[in-house]
Amino acid sequence: MGAGNDRPSFLFDVRDRRFGMRGLSNYRLSCCVNTLLQTFSATWELTDLLDKWDAAGERTDSCNVPQQLKKVLVAMRSDLPQPANHHDFLHCLDRNYIRLSVQHDADEVFLSILNSMQQQMDDKALALDIQNLYKISEETYLECLNCNSVQTLATYQLSLSLHIKEDHNSLEGCMRSFFEHQELSGIDCCFCAKCGKKTPSKQGVKLTSLPPILCVHLKRFRNERGYTRKLGCRVTFPETFDLSEIPREAFLADFAQNDCKYTLYAVVVHSGSAMFGHYTAYVRDRREQRWYYADDSHVGKASWEEVQSTYGGRGRGTAYMLMYRRGSKEGGQQPGCSG
C-alpha cells in the first residue's frame, strides 16, 4: 500500500538525533513493512534478544528473515542522518513470499515475520524467547449443553484479532465480546462423545497467560460476497489498560498473573480503502516517553491527541494494530508479572 496521505506539517525528512528515530524510504510499496519496522524498533525487548544472536557465526544469508531484520534494526539505531537502508530486508521478504510492489495486510506480514524467526533462527531457545514476547496462551473449550461434558484444547496466538461492530466501539468492549461464549445449535451442533450424537453446545476461549508485548489487531477489513471493504467506524482505546478489568470468565481458574496492566507504545495506522491505502505509525520513545509519528522517510513529534485522532469515524487514518507493553510508562516491567 503505497499511496501517500496528508502528512502533518511538523514532519521532516532527516533523523532527529535527540530521539534516535530514522525514517525508511518507500521502496516499491513498502509502507506496510516500513511501519512494522518502526514498531519492531520501538520493541527494545525484541532488539535486545536479536543483539544476543550470533547466527552460529555463519555468513549473512540473503534469504534469512531474522538475520536481515537484525541488520536493519541495527541500522535504524545508527547516527546517520539519511533514512535507514532496508532494501536487503525487503528483498529478503520478497524471497520469502512477501512480495515487493504488492499491497499487503500489516497483521499478516507481522505474523509472517514472527513465524520466519521461529523457522529460520538456528538458536531455537532464543527463537522461543522471541515468540514468548508476543505469545497469548489460551484454552478453547466446547461444552455440551445436554450432559455438560467439556472438551478443551490448549492454543496460542501472537496477535489478538478483535471483531469490531459497524458503530461506536471501545477496546474494552471488543475484548469483552471476544471472550463471550457462543452457543451452537441446529446445523451448528457438534458431536459429543459422551452423548454419542450431535448436541447443542457452547464454545469459547479462556486466557492461560498474557505476554510482555500484547499486539491487538482491529479487524477493519470485512469480506462480503467476494468483496472486501474497510470499516472506518470509531474504536476508542486507552493509553493504559488493565486486562484484569475484563470479566473473570475470560480467564482460566488457575490464571496466576498478578498484574495485567499494559501501556500503549505503538499504533499501526491505515489510511484509504481496502483496495488502495497507506500505512503509517505512531511510536512512543523509550527515554522521553513521548509520541512520534513515522510516515516512511518522514518522522516527527506527535501528541497523544494526534494518536487519538486514529480512533476512526472521520474519514482519516484509522488505528489497525495496537502494541501494548506490560508494565509502567517508564518502560520497566512491573513486579508480579509472569511470562
Catalytic positions are: 31, 278
Q: Which residue has the cell 508485548?
A: 213
Looking at residue 84, the DSSP 8-state letter turns out to be P
Q: Give the CA distances from residue 296 to residues 29, 249, 267, in Å, rounded to whole numbers and listed in that order.
A: 10, 42, 14
**Residue indicated by cell numbers 520478497:** 94
- Tell me, rounded to whole angstroms, the distance of Cα 337 from its chain centroid: 20
DSSP 8-state class, residue 180: S
Counted residue by residue, the chain has a size of 339
Task: Give the integer Cα–Cα distance in Å for 290 and 305.
Answer: 12
For the chain, counts of helices (H) and of strands (E): 8, 18
- Grid cell, residue 169, equals 466501539
Which of these, 263, 248, 156, 170, lies nearest to 210 by C-alpha position? 156
Among candidates 85, 92, 84, which has minimal Cα distance to 67?
92
Q: What is the DSSP letter of 177?
A: H
Q: What is the DSSP letter of 18?
A: T
Helices 106-120, 124-134: inter-axial angle, 10-degree rounding: 150
Please list the alpha-helical segments (H only) found in 31-162: 31-41, 44-52, 65-76, 87-95, 106-120, 124-134
